[in-house]
Amino acid sequence: MPGRTNRLVTNADKLLCVLLYYRTYITHTFMGYLFNLHNSNISRLIKKIEPMLAKQVSIKKDRSLTAEKVLTLLADVTETPTQRPTNKQKKSYSSKKKRHTIKTEIVMKDSGKFVKQSERRVNPYAPLLGTRLKKR
């Protein structure tokens, strides 16, 4: 009964293996299962292909934050307590706060000035970030 193979034959398979690892960061054991290799062979393959790949693909060295990125880092969602509604109480109940709440997203500058505020939402699972923000 033959065991697992000890290498990938084509360069396309090798590249796919390395790129899949860098994209998903799954374990070498699972990678070995996917490519029918032992996890130590996956590790050796990544160490062998990585320098060659680094010569061909350049990564941007300047990773400074722009003003827009800093602005999105200062976004926050608050929960404001409300009176218990007569209908559909489950939608407005916050298990975290143990009361009925409405969520509001607030975006502000580092100086403390409000830039945007979203409409108030009752549904705690509704996506807030970047949706229906209105300028103040």
pLDDT one-digit tens code per residue, 34-47: 998 998 999 999 99
pLDDT one-digit tens code per residue, 94-110: 666 667 777 777 777 77
Residues 108 and 114: beta-carbon distance below 8 Å: yes
State mean pLDDT over 17-28: 89
Could you identify the residue written with the tokens 């990544």?
46
What is the C-alpha to C-alpha distance for residues 126 and 113, in angstroms, rounded to an integer?
Answer: 26
Residues 102 and 122: beta-carbon distance below 8 Å: yes
Could you identify the residue written with the tokens 């790129």?
19
pLDDT one-digit tens code per residue, 66-89: 766 665 556 666 776 777 766 766
What is the C-alpha to C-alpha distance for residues 106 and 51, in angstroms, rounded to an integer?
Answer: 44
What is the C-alpha to C-alpha distance for residues 65 and 62, in angstroms, rounded to an integer?
Answer: 9
